[in-house]
A = this chain, B = another copy of it.
Amino acid sequence: MADTSKHILLMDGPDNKGLIYHVTGVLFRHGLNIIRNNEYVSPSRQFFMRTEFEGNFNTDVLLNELQTTLPPGITFRINPKKKKNIVVFVTKEHHCLAELLIRYAFNELDADILAVISNYNVLQPLVSKFGIPFHYISHEHRSREEHEEAILRTLRIYDPEYLVLAKYMRVLTAGFVQHYPNRIINIHHSFLPAFIGASPYRQAYERGVKIIGATAHFVNNDLDEGPIIAQNVKEVDHRHTAADMATEGKDVEKIVLSQALKLVFNDRVFIHENRSVVL
């Protein structure tokens, strides 16, 4: 049960005098060394803490002692510091997928890509270059529920911790999403909440904006309304057609998605009241 690798303690709940003191006391008495500690208290007095520590410990004993020490409302868990297992969803656009594949191939993703699922087969050649299983699950001639059921069957093979929607252009039902609560990350090609829904670059062009953006967010039941993890933007001007904006936007999308995944895969993102807290 002893473990010498690095771990991360994640806590959140109502703020209370002495919380940091009590938690750091438990770790101190176990001889564990805090490498990095971040905490945040929201204006509504919600407490969040992420503590990266190293040293040997007995998990059951440590968890039990934390349980005893902490006030009842606080939830906490201890994660080993290690790569996550993910499945990537795509449709036809390659840029986000390629970014993830390259990072994965060079060990820069903080995750293992177990498989890629797509409702089209156009990206199969790209995925096959990297020796990763590609599952072409067409939505044609299937109801939405049948299609999602087929996807869920495939996911059961891999049992991923996170699903990454790397320009997957289909809306997921609430029934599907509930299988992966706060474990589905999407990249939306606009600066949310501007231009929710389809053709955001076309909308951006029509509105004549001078800046375009992209948003990585968790997926919940409402389209494009889940907690935002990261956003970034890029200047455009009147010379950009909607197609030019889409082209320029791809660079933003793939980088923002990668940045968001880095945060999530390193257990740095808490969710509270539909907002993310990044520690």
A contact set with B: CB distance below 8 Å:
17-18, 20-21, 24-25, 27-28, 31, 33-43, 94-95, 98, 102, 105-106, 108, 126, 129-130, 191-195, 207-211, 213, 227-233, 235, 237-239, 241, 247, 251, 255, 258, 274-278
What's the minimum C-beta distance from A122 to chain B, rounded to whole angstroms? 11
What's the minimum C-beta distance from A127 to chain B, rounded to whole angstroms? 11
Assess whether A251 is in contact with B258, with CB atoms less than 8 Å apart. yes
What are 20 A-B contacts defined by CB distance under 8 Å? A17-B31, A17-B33, A18-B28, A20-B34, A21-B21, A21-B25, A35-B41, A36-B41, A94-B102, A105-B126, A191-B194, A192-B207, A193-B195, A207-B228, A208-B228, A208-B275, A210-B230, A211-B213, A237-B278, A251-B258
Assess whether A28 is in contact with B24, with CB atoms less than 8 Å apart. no
Assess whether B33 is in contact with A24, with CB atoms less than 8 Å apart. no
Q: A258 — which chain B residues lie within 8 A by C-beta?
A: 251
Assess whether A275 is in contact with B194, with CB atoms less than 8 Å apart. no
Q: A25 — which chain B residues lie within 8 A by C-beta?
A: 21, 25
